[in-house]
Structures are given as structure tokens and as C-alpha cells.
Amino acid sequence: MSVRVGLVMGSDSDWPVMEEAAKALEEFGVGYEADVVSAHRMPQDMIAWGAAAAGRGLQVVVAGAGGAAHLPGMLASVTPLPVIGVPVPLRHLDGMDSLLSIVQMPAGVPVATVSIGGARNAGLLAVRILAAADADLRARMVQFQDSLRQTAYDKGSALRARTRRGGVGFGA
Ligand SMILES: Nc1c(C(=O)O)ncn1[C@@H]1O[C@H](COP(=O)(O)O)[C@@H](O)[C@H]1O
């Protein structure tokens, strides 16, 4: 399986959050590599990693970091690849620091920021980006969306049964 997504984080302490992105990629059979890359602690290596990413065949970067989370933005500044940023919540400030660090990028250097701790959505967004030019992957994403819809239908019918209040009743 070719490695299409670079899944990087500022520290291995981010893994419990970032693992959800890895799981989403695995669900869709998308190859990824995972590594610790820190703008603050290894700036030269971080620049080298970002500058080489596209040339190594990566197509999307998912970057997670907590606190003063400069990693996603700095990677976006040195790669032409789409970068998805994951704000990782730490003990203080509940991830707001990380969210604001990642989301407020200057014009010209986009980072697609997901919610605080939203690594699963980062993985799913990476799949969607790849699926734009990959019909097989797109078909799998449509199937996944169908399963979400079915789950919502089932929840609606269970709620209607529980409350004995008929609603519109979506789905079969
Ligand atoms: N935000 C960054 C960057 C960066 O943005 O380059 N490098 C590490 N970190 C973050 O520091 C937090 C604490 O790291 P440690 O647990 O290693 O002390 C992690 O959430 C990491 O992402």
C-alpha cells in the first residue's frame, strides 16, 4: 500500500488524540506514515520534513499539536500539499490555545483546521481530499455516508418509539 498521508504531531504525547486520524485512514485502506515533527523543538528537521513531503509521494499532511501549535502552519508554509491541522487539547486552556494558533493563518497559507481533538474528522477529510481524484475511494466514502444516514434513521425511529410521538420518520 502506498503511503499517501503524512500524519505528524509535535510530541508522542499527542498520539492518544491523533490515533483517531490513523484509525480513520485505516478504515479506508489509505496508507500513512506517523512521526513526531516539532517546529519548536526541531525546527530545521521540521522544515526539511515539510519541504520533502510532496517529493516523497505524500499527498496530504495531517498535523496535530497542542498549546502554541505552530507545527501545522509552519508545514503549510513549506509544502504545496493540503495541510489539515488538529488542535490537541492539553491540561491548561482546554485546547483553545491550540485551536487559535492553528486556525488564524495569514492569507495565502491555508490550514484546514478541524475541531479541538477532532482527529477522526482530520482523517476523514484527508480521505475526501484523496477521493476527489480516486473513484474507488470516493465510492467507499459514499458508502460510509450512507451508513451514517442509516444510523441517524435508526436513532430517529428508536426515539419515536420511545416517546410514542410520531415525527416525519425519515428513511425506510
Ligand atoms: N505545539 C507543539 C510543537 C510545535 O508546534 O512545533 N511542538 C510540540 N508541541 C506540543 O507540545 C505539547 C507538549 O509536548 P510534550 O508532551 O512532549 O511536553 C504537545 O501537545 C506538542 O504537540
**DSSP E strand boundaries for the chain:** 3-9, 31-36, 60-66, 83-88, 112-113
- What is the pLDDT at residue 172? 67
Say how many Å lie between the CA of residue 5 and the centre of ligand 1.
20
Confidence of residue 165 (pLDDT cuts 50, 70, 90): confident
Provide ipTM, 2 decimals.
0.99
Domain ranges of the chain: 5-132, 135-163
Closest CA relative to residue 105, chosen from 134, 149, 130, 72:
72
Instruction: List the CATH code of the domain at 5-132.
Output: 3.40.50.1970
Please give the distance, rounded to the nearest whole angstrom, from the Cα atom of residue 134 to the centre of ligand 1: 34
Q: How many A from CA of 44 to the centre of ligand 1?
A: 16
What residues form the annotated binding site for substrate?
A: 11, 14, 41
CA dist 28 and 148 (Å) reads 15
pLDDT tens, position by position, 22-76: 999 999 999 999 999 999 999 999 999 999 999 999 999 999 999 999 999 999 9
pTM of the model: 0.96
Q: Which residues line ligand 1 (CB under 6 A)?
A: 9-11, 13-14, 38-41, 65-71, 88, 90
